[in-house]
């Protein structure tokens, strides 16, 4: 199974970006010939419906039509359901929201298959406005049902997709500061990229400011003069009545108007994982990002080095790495916490008290790290013995580290 997974990854060629909103999705792809990003779906309705008479499933626009004609039960607003709803009842049958979501996405991905019938998805990045822990878990489940496991799926925020979109473009387009006005779904946000290039890699962040639509003075004031490139997206900037505002906003700076920024940014984010040169190396820190590296010293490939158990910029609730170590005349494990912003390092020693006395290299331990919130991590170490040669004592050691 492991061999099949390894070989299959080589045969996959498509890097896909998906922007998921409450009631619609966008889908784009980097084609196999390394050309430009191609949009596959723009504002595809994210809905499923069951026909009342035939009890058949309908998707997308057909589902919406069923709803309009009152010919069945329509389910949309998936992001809200995934956050808040445990089950949905359709004609007496209970469904998990993630099951229905999976069906809807499967249909949407068929359009990709039509365009590229001989190619498979190598990586897919989903972009959401606010990826919470619960939402992320349920989405991951839904995609796993489609055969897209955690090794090929990334879920990120709109802020991160915006950053990837900007950083993945030609350098001259983003000298100076970059900003984004997002007028989607009746709201208005101003996003701004912050970059600290004093650190290596550079530390990036994206601020988000909520503005009131229609308040032009406030909008103009929010976009400071140091913004050298401004992106505008969302229906809030469509229509001839907005032309004047757009001209004012773009005066003295480069301006770009488009509806696919997050989707394309997600697509760049997908490809960048295998082609790091697509973007300058960055450490992206968001609200839920851990702001330190947590590592242990190991002997690997014939040299001493640090094995990172959790990396700065990872979302705290997604950290769950584990490693197996063999103890060679060691009875304690030093865990190093390296703070990326201050550069400070702290070492916490985990002493394996009560470890059974065995010959050197006859004790294997499993070390695992999880976060209970963005500032608290728990390091767990379990004695595994050494196969049949030395049975495990089943002892477990645990240490809580406050970051």
Partner 1 sequence: MGRLILCFGEKAEKPWYIKETDTKLYSIEELCYYIYNNVYIISQAFFTLELANWIEKELGLWETAGKLKGLILGRNSCKDMVVTVLCSTDYYLEEEIKELLQVMDALSHMSEGQRKKYKADLWLRKGRPAMAFMEYRKLLESQSDGLTPEETGDVLHNLGIACLYTGGLPEAAQYFLEAYGRNEKEESLKAYVEVCQMAHIEVGQVSLEEKKKLLADLERSKKEYLQTEDYQKFWKAVEKKHKGQPGIYYEEIDRLLNEWKQEYRRKVG
Using CB under 8 A, list all residues that contact partner 1: 1-3, 6, 296-302, 304, 307, 323-331, 333, 361, 364, 386-389
- Nearer to partner 1 by Cβ, of 250 and 307: the residue is 307
| Minimum gap (Å) between residue 369 Cβ and partner 1 | 15
| Minimum gap (Å) between residue 345 Cβ and partner 1 | 18
Residues in the chain: 403
Q: Rounded CA gap, 136 and 155, in Å? A: 7
SS3 73: strand
- Nearer to partner 1 by Cβ, of 344 and 396: the residue is 396
| Minimum gap (Å) between residue 183 Cβ and partner 1 | 49
- Nearer to partner 1 by Cβ, of 95 and 386: the residue is 386
| Minimum gap (Å) between residue 82 Cβ and partner 1 | 32
- Nearer to partner 1 by Cβ, of 176 and 360: the residue is 360
| Minimum gap (Å) between residue 304 Cβ and partner 1 | 8
57-59 sheet: strands from edge to edge: 57-59, 48-51, 72-75
- Nearer to partner 1 by Cβ, of 141 and 386: the residue is 386
Q: Rounded CA gap, 189 and 334, in Å? A: 44
Q: Which of 265, 286, 275 minimizes the C-alpha distance to 205? A: 286
Q: Which of 184, 186, 180, 154 minimizes the C-alpha distance to 165? A: 180
- Nearer to partner 1 by Cβ, of 96 and 307: the residue is 307
Q: What does the radius of gyration of the chain's CA atoms come to, in whole angstroms?
A: 24
With tokens 């299959």, the residue in question is 8
**Torsion angles phi and psi, residue 198, rounded to 5:** -75, -20
Q: Rounded CA gap, 241 and 22, in Å? A: 26
**How would you class 303 by CB atoms within 10 Å of its CB: exposed for 0-12, middle for 13-18, buried for 19 or more?**
exposed
Please say whether the beta carbons of 84 and 97 come within 8 A. Answer: no
| Minimum gap (Å) between residue 382 Cβ and partner 1 | 13
- Nearer to partner 1 by Cβ, of 95 and 348: the residue is 348
| Minimum gap (Å) between residue 385 Cβ and partner 1 | 10
């Amino acid at each position: 199974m492991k061999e099949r997974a390894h070989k299959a990854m080589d045969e996959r060629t498509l890097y896909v970006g998906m922007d998921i909103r409450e009631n619609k999705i966008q889908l784009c792809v980097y084609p196999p010939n390394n050309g430009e990003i191609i949009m596959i779906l723009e504002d595809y309705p994210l809905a499923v419906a069951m026909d009342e008479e035939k009890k058949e499933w309908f998707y997308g626009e057909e589902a919406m039509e069923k709803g309009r004609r009152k010919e069945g039960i329509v389910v949309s607003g998936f992001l809200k359901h995934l956050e808040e709803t445990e089950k949905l009842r359709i004609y007496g049958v209970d469904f998990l929201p993630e099951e229905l979501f999976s069906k809807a996405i499967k249909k949407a991905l068929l359009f990709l298959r039509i365009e590229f019938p001989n190619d498979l998805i190598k990586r897919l990045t989903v972009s959401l406005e606010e990826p919470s822990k619960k939402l992320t878990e349920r989405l991951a489940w839904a995609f796993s049902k489609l055969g897209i496991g955690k090794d090929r799926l990334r879920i990120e925020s709109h802020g991160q997709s915006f950053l990837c979109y900007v950083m993945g473009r030609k350098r001259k387009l983003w000298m100076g500061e970059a900003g984004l006005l997002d007028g989607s779904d009746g709201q208005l946000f101003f996003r701004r990229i912050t970059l600290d290039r004093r650190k290596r890699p550079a530390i990036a962040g994206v601020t988000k400011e909520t503005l009131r639509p229609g308040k032009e003075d406030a909008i103009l004031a929010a976009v400071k003069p140091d913004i050298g490139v401004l992106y505008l997206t969302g229906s809030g900037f469509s229509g001839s009545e907005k032309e004047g505002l757009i001209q004012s906003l773009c005066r003295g700076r480069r301006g770009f108007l488009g509806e696919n920024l997050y989707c394309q940014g997600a697509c760049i984010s997908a490809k960048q994982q295998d082609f790091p040169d697509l973007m300058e190396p960055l450490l992206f820190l968001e609200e839920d990002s851990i702001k330190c590296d947590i590592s242990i010293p190991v002997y690997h490939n014939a040299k001493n080095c640090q094995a990172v158990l959790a990396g700065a910029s990872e979302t705290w609730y997604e950290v769950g790495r584990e490693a197996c170590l063999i103890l060679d005349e060691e009875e304690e494990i030093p865990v190093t916490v390296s703070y990326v912003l201050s550069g400070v390092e702290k070492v916490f020693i985990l002493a394996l008290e009560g470890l059974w006395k065995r010959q050197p290299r006859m004790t294997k331990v499993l070390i695992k790290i999880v976060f209970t919130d963005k500032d608290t991590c728990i390091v767990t170490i379990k004695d595994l013995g050494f196969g049949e040669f030395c049975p495990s004592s089943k002892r477990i050691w645990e240490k809580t580290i406050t970051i």
